[in-house]
Amino acid sequence: MYLDYYYFILIVPVLLLSLIAQGRVNSIYKRFSAVNNMRGLTGAAAAQAVLNFYGVHDVRIEHIHGHLSDHYDPRDNVIRLSDGVFGSCSVAAVGIACHEAGHAAQHAQGYVPIKLRNAFLTPARLGSQAGLPLAIIGIFLGSQFLINFGILLYVAVMLFQLLTLPVEFNASRRAIDVIEQQGMLSEQETADAGKVLRAAAMTYVASFAMSAANLLRLLLLASNRRRN
């Protein structure tokens, strides 16, 4: 009973927020992926321009298949750009490619928040898989150890996603700054690229809100168990 009550009060509203955020980023991406920039600059070329701006010369730019699967991989030191970004001249492609290059610049410059976030990567992966199940099993079995361990693991998930926010916002700021300084896009195109990046950033905000709601749910369930 308590599980369903807390789920509907805490999780469902945040889940709706996540769906709205995802729908918005898809809508805005679709809109501005159909608008080519006046300079005919491709996503790959834009990413390279950001790398050059920051003096990063050891990062490759590769094409991968997929939809919005763009990312920077620090293990292989490569920026991977998707079908709709790598060779595209759209405003959305330039914004996304520059954002990923911004992540590469963060790594090259030793940006502190990204180091802190990476420190939580392994615990966060474990917490996302086992945190909630362990805590809920502990609640039903009456095991305080399992409850505490599950909550501790899930705290790592929330901290990872909290630290992801400044990393993502900073990468977008770097992208827009270089776009403006290098004159890659017109003033209106730059504003539109910013809309794409802000919409994408809201999906990370929604993910953090979901983790916070899940953690609060666990704490309330555990508190209720102790009172009973």
* Calpha distance 48→72 (Å, rounded): 13
Contacts of 32 (CB under 8 A, 6+ apart): 90, 91, 92, 95, 192, 193, 195, 196
Could you confirm whether 187 is annotated as catalytic? no
Return the number of other C-beta atoms located less than 10 Å from residue 60's C-beta.
Answer: 12
Q: Helix axis angle, 144-182 relative to 121-141, nearest 10°?
A: 150
Contacts of 50 (CB under 8 A, 6+ apart): 97, 98, 101, 102, 104, 105, 174, 175, 178
CB-based burial, 62-90: b 16+ in 10 Å, e otherwise: eeeeeebebebeeeeebbbbbebbbebbb
Catalytic residue among 62, 100, 168, 189: 100
* Active site positions, annotated: 100
